Structure formats: C-alpha cells, structure tokens
Structure 1
C-alpha cells in the first residue's frame, strides 16, 4: 500500500497550501484528490480533539462545550496539564493517507510542483518542502 503520512498538526496547513496553488490538468486533479483525503483526515483529527476536550470541559444540555469569557469552562477538578499533554500527543500523532488509488495523479502533482513557477516564501516555502519530501518518497515507492 502506498501512503503519505503527516502529523495531525500538519494537515490543515498542507491543505491550505494546496488550495492556494495555481495548477492545471492532471496536477490539479491530483491536488483535488489529495485535498479531499487531507480534509477527511483533518475532520477525524478535529473530532478527536473534541472528544479529548469533552473529558476536561463542561458541556451544556446539547452536548456543546460551555464557554465563558471566550474560554471553555473547565470541569471541577479538571487538570489542564493532563489536557495539554493529551492534546500535544494528538497533534503529533501520524495521520496516514492511502494513495494507492490516486498514485498517478499524485505523481503528476509531484512533477508539476518540482517545476512550480511561482515564488514561495516563509511558511509556504516550508510547507512546500514538507509536501515535496512526502510526494517524492511516494513517487519513488511507486516505481
């Protein structure tokens, strides 16, 4: 099975970066498929964050977390250091995306990004580097 692996905290920035790229044809289709898969994984990650938070914060009768002064209301005896530890562990967990079905499209995306004609700076350049490392590894495994 051919996979891409990202830490959970990398999912949203990579997805946002992909959405900003100017791509055509097969590379654009590869981006669209990858964006969908990343979005699904990010949704799972956010649901897991909510599950952790529900352990530490009070909820109203609808199950929504209570908010006071723009902050969630900590349950009595709630330990924020344990909460932070759990959230940190969740952020750093690896999210694995099965690429087998779209390998050709992801390879086209990789090839297009190798010669990407637009300048990237700061955070975009870092995300580009991360994404290219993953796509190049995937491409080598596919051959």
Structure 2
C-alpha cells in the first residue's frame, strides 16, 4: 500500500526548518531526518520547476522591466500547488515520529504552533492507517 502526505510547495521550507529545530531522539530523530530529506528533494524539484516557469521573463539574469507582476503571479500560483511525499517505505518510522510529536513536552507558539498542527495533520493519517492494518 502506498502512503503519502501532502504539503503545499510554499510550506516545504518552513516545515523542514521547524522539524530540524525540534529536540528529538532515537527513532523519532531518524524519522525526522528521513522526512527532511524527502522534503529537500521535493523542494529542489520545485525550485527547478519555478526557474523553468519564469526563465522567459529574464534577460541575461535580470528580470525584464514590466514583467514583475507576471513573475510574482506565477511564483504565487506555484507556491500553493500541492506536492506529494511518498512515505511508503517509512511508515513505521513516521508512526514513531508522530507519537514523539504527540508527546512532545515543549510549548509551541505563533508560526511553530501552525507548523506543528500542519505536520501532525499529515502524520495522523499515517498513524490511523497503521492502526487499521494492525486490527
């Protein structure tokens, strides 16, 4: 069974930075590392796609005057597109990560609270599927 989670492309870097800043150990730390690696790969693809999408608006590396709004519109449109991360081979590790985050003792505020909620929403889908498989 394939298991995926989804983020918007514009969320990838904030999610990776948030995850990197968490104090995790053992299995949860390994799972976080796997997740960050997958995010980095998707973000690299996204950056290449973004560069391809706007390259015609640049001349000799400089943005053509009057094309700023078009480039901004393209970039904004791409940031809200959903990207899919395939976690199939990491499901048990992601369940460990989800459990560690569920029991994380630090307090989250502001953007960290939003990112925590975003990550947990995705990881909870994996945990629920894993629980169904074991029944």
Q: Same fold (TM over 0.5)?
A: yes
- Deviations 1:45-64 (Å, cap 9, x if unpaired)? 111222223121112xxxxx
* Corresponding residue SS for 2:106: coil
Aligned-pair CA distance for 1:14: 0.3
Identify, as 1 or 2, the structure richer in helix.
2
Q: Which of 111, 124, 129 is the aligned partner of 2:117?
A: 129
- Is 1:44 the equivalent of 2:45? yes
Q: Which runs of 5+ in 2 are unaligned?
A: none
Q: TM-score, normalised by structure 1?
A: 0.85
**Mapped partners of 1:113, 1:132: distance in 2:** 8
Q: Which residue of 1 aligns with 2:32?
A: 31
Per-residue deviation, 1:93: 0.8
The alignment yields a C-alpha RMSD, in angstroms, of: 1.4
Distance 1:55 1:141, change over 3 A: farther
The corresponding residue for 2:100 is 112
Alpha-carbon shift at residue 36 of structure 1 (Å): 0.3
The equivalent residue for 2:64 is: 75
Structure 1 match to 2:74: 86
* 1: CA distance, partners of 2:64 / 2:113: 41
Q: Which stretches of structure 1, 4 residues or more, deviate above 6 A after TM superposition?
A: none
1:141, CA displacement in angstroms?
A: 2.5
Gaps of 5+ in 1: 60-64, 66-72
Q: Secondary structure at the match of 1:104?
A: helix
- Structure of higher CA gyration radius: 1
